Amino acid sequence: MAIVYETLKNRKFEEIVHTYTERDTMLYALGAGVGYDPMDEKALNYVYEENLSALPTMATVLAYPGFWLKEPDTGVDWTKVLHADQEIILHKPLPPAGTLKATTKVDEVIDKGEGKGVFIYSSRTVTTEDGEPLCTLIQNTMVRGQGGFGGCTDRPPASQVIPDTAPDISCELPTLLQAALIYRLSGDYNPLHADPAVARKGGFDRPILHGLCTFGVAGHALLKTCCDYDVNTFRSMKARFSAPVYPGETIRTDIWKLDKGVAFRCTVVERDLVVIDNGFADVG
């Protein structure tokens, strides 16, 4: 199995049409931990049909093209794939229900050299049925050890630098022991997040939380602390995944105010382990 730069760079994707309901929107928010405090009326707007809003990070599951890097035409050894970075750009608040269309493309394939890693940058543009831009999702996927095929040798974009000072705001949010089992119902059925036997084969003591679920918890923290739960002031968010979370752990999001937007980092409190780093959000 080998990557062919031109083939992967110019890969064609079918347009995805995705219809979702208010129930899907509430289920996504529950999977990301919203509603842990049943008396928080502002948070209730994301898990209750009265005045329902969609959590901004739900963009990651809309019109999802699936695990396309597993397809033989990519030349990628899918067992060596890691989700490295994720960015969402919201052109308008997500509707709580509707039918959307999306197209995906490979933006660049960066070759780090023989025996080293490969960075695959892809983007997904999501629109309404009428073609109005709704959100853009940019993903960086790392493939371990498949470099040396002659791809682009540009340096990956620089990550957001986290200030070397105490955070301006910190927000601790719990995750449920069954969080991964709930979150997977939004479309990612990888057994690594449900089956203990599969998790053990992957080197984990038990099933781990989806990286994009952790991303959703971080987005919830930003929405709560920086936007007072107002989706109209949440414009973009990006971050790097650095370690997995076990369902039931507490995620602390530390936030630093910048001249424009905020930097953030997420740590699992119980293990004092950074799980999301180099975060930036245009919020507030």
What is the Cα–Cα distance from 123 to 237, expressed in whole angstroms? 14
The dihedrals phi and psi of 200, each to the nearest 5 degrees, come to: -65, -40
Give CA torsion, residues 245, 54, 122, 233, to 10 deg: -100
Judge whether 216 and 57 are in contact, CB under 8 Å: yes
Instruction: Answer for the pair 182, 30: CB distance below 8 angstroms, yes or no.
Output: yes
To the nearest 10°, the Cα dihedral for 85, 91, 97, 99?
-90
Residues ≥6 apart with Cβ < 8 Å to 27? 182, 185, 186
Check 188, 210, 220, 254 and give the catalytic one.
Answer: 188
Q: How far apart are CA 28 and CA 47, in angstroms?
A: 9
195 in catalytic set: no
| Nearest C-alpha neighbor of 59 from the set 22, 93, 16, 14 | 93
Sign of CA dihedral 183, 187, 188, 193: positive
**For residue 117, what are its two tokens?**
């890693």
Q: For tokens 């933006």, name the residue.
A: 107
Tallying the residues shown for the chain, one arrives at 284
Catalytic residue among 193, 210, 220, 254: 193
User: Is residue 277 annotated as a catalytic residue, yes or no?
Assistant: no
Which residues belong to the active site?
A: 188, 193
